[in-house]
Amino acid sequence: MTVVAEGTGAFLAPDPDAHRRYIRDHKEKGLVSKVMSEHEAIERFVEDGDYVAYDCNLWVRGPAALMREIIRQKKRELWIAAKFTAHDATMLVAAGCVNRIDVGWMEVGRVITEAQLEGRVELHEWSNGAMTYRLLAGSLGLPFLPLRYLGGTDVFNTSGTKLIDDPYSGKPICVVPALNPDVGLVHVNQCDEFGNARVFGAGISPVETAMAAKKVILSTEEIIDSDELRRHPQQTRIPYYAVDAVVHAPFGGYPGTVPGLYKADIEHLMESGAAQMQGKMDEYLEKWVFSVSSHEEMLGTHVGQEKLDVLKAEETIKEGYYE
């Protein structure tokens, strides 16, 4: 197979056999409860230097509570997959947690640009589709997959994409390396104590993110009875054996929306936007992350039950999600 052209970008190199051995040696195959606090989950399963992929973003069904805990525990030198992400990347960079970002699309402002210019963070350009597809390859246990885009562009030149001759037809085709992140974070609507999880609504890549990752942390709006879950097995998107930790986090997507459950807190999103524009991310993080010890405390202290009730009541669309 001839490599016709190749990009020069750094990427997390796939090693499917190493990944299989990790799965064999570390994953719990029995039905044991994985319910734990967000503190314990992040402390046990996120290490400095890890590659972290997460599903969705701070606008829609993202693992916001888990991200704030990563910041609270001051994890360092993380490499993140910023596909279809909002100001999640900004928050993590402002907190000094991240020094490498694979970019699909991210909300970007002065925090990331200044960090890039000062050499505190390195960006690698891909695309939303390419990052999600790399996770798909990782979730299939393959080293790479062919795809019919990226070719010819600067994204090709600056990423780990290669152009090869299709071994069957001889025609040119690009390939991208599989991505097996160290950590996958997914916020789900419901799961049982073992990690069998349901995700409702359109979504980016909840299944690929969980199945490609070595260590998987779910935060969930609701922990449901396993016997009840087994009455509707078709709804289970992520099976228990992929999951290392289940964190019960109602409003775990806050300030974003979890469609069908609660609306995004637009006031908060504006506050974080303004904090970045005004160079006050430290104050924002102090208030929303460091001044509290948990997600639950943050909701109680800084949001309040009244606001939470409003966000719930205003989400009037239920069909397709819970009915």
Report the interface residues with another protein, using CB under 8 A: 59-60, 82-84, 103-108, 112-113, 116-117, 122-123, 125-130, 132-133, 136, 148-156, 158, 163, 171-174, 201-208, 256-257, 259-260, 263-264, 266, 269, 315, 317, 319-321
Smaller CB distance to another protein: residue 66 or 173?
A: 173
Smaller CB distance to another protein: residue 223 or 269?
A: 269
Q: Shortest Cβ distance from residue 291 to another protein (Å)?
A: 25
Q: Shortest Cβ distance from residue 296 to another protein (Å)?
A: 23
Tokens standing for residue 221: 């709006």
Tokens standing for residue 168: 């069957």
Q: Shortest Cβ distance from residue 90 to another protein (Å)?
A: 11
Q: Shortest Cβ distance from residue 182 to another protein (Å)?
A: 21
> What are the CA-CA distances from residue 100 to residues 13, 77, 164, 269, 273 (Å)?
14, 7, 27, 24, 22
Q: Are 55 and 209 in contact (CB under 8 A)?
A: yes
Smaller CB distance to another protein: residue 264 or 298?
A: 264
Q: Shortest Cβ distance from residue 127 to another protein (Å)?
A: 4
Smaller CB distance to another protein: residue 269 or 292?
A: 269
> What are the CA-CA distances from residue 63 to residues 24, 55, 59, 165, 188 (Å)?
27, 7, 10, 40, 8
Smaller CB distance to another protein: residue 105 or 241?
A: 105
Q: Half-sphere exposure of 15 toward its Cβ, with a 13 Å CA cutoff?
A: 9
Smaller CB distance to another protein: residue 38 or 125?
A: 125
Strand 98-103 to strand 122-125: parallel, antiparallel, or no bridges (unpaired)? parallel
Partner residues linked to 177 by β-bridges: 144
- How far is the C-alpha of 309 from the C-alpha of 278, rounded, in Å? 30
Q: CA geometry: angle at 278 spanning 274 and 281, to 5°?
A: 75
Q: Shortest Cβ distance from residue 108 to another protein (Å)?
A: 5
- How far is the C-alpha of 86 from the C-alpha of 108, rounded, in Å? 8
Q: Shortest Cβ distance from residue 179 to another protein (Å)?
A: 13
Smaller CB distance to another protein: residue 41 or 186?
A: 186
